[in-house]
């Protein structure tokens, strides 16, 4: 699977660790920045990069980091075809994919550390959408809102 990865200054400290994890799980990383720490950068820019990668088929899923994960999630969800959520527990990271076809995992590096991020990314990338019954019906309704 090709996984886009991006972080603003708030998420930057966790980004390299997550890139290594994604690669170790056998996935390809599409690194969309930041490529160096810049206290003045803004999460909406990185949310746009992630969203465009999803929209254009350059990535199947994405991990987007900011300080809390909240701003990144809000910005990413403005883009058609993006289903992003901030998750800080393994159940939500997996269930968001299985039930809601979440394609962007947003994490807050000021909220969680590397050990928790490891568990969440593994849960997110290891899950598959259950494309049947109520889950498909609900996704179709969400897509209809777009």
Closest CA to 29 of 50, 5, 55: 5
Alpha carbons within 13 angstroms on the beta-carbon side of residue 74 total 9
Does residue 99 carry a catalytic annotation?
A: yes
Does residue 9 carry a catalytic annotation?
A: no
Catalytic residue, from 27, 56, 66, 88: name it: 66
Cβ-contact 103, 50 below 8 angstroms: no
User: Rounded to the nearest 10 degrees, how much is the dihedral formed by the CA atoms of 111, 139, 23, 47?
Assistant: -60
Which residues are catalytic, by number? Answer: 66, 99
């Amino acid at each position: 699977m090709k996984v886009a990865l991006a972080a603003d200054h708030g998420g930057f400290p966790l980004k390299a660790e997550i890139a290594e994890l994604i690669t170790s799980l056998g996935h390809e990383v599409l690194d969309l920045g930041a490529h160096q720490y810049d206290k003045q950068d803004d999460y909406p820019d990185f949310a746009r990069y992630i969203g465009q990668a999803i929209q254009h088929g350059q990535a199947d899923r994405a991990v987007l980091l900011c300080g809390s994960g909240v701003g990144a999630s809000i910005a990413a969800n403005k883009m058609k075809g993006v289903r992003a959520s901030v998750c800080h527990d393994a159940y939500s990271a997996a269930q968001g994919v299985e039930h809601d076809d979440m394609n962007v995992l947003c994490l807050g590096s000021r909220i969680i550390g590397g050990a928790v991020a490891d568990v969440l990314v593994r849960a997110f990338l290891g899950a598959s959408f259950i494309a049947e019954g109520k889950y498909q019906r609900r996704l179709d309704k969400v897509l209809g809102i777009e």
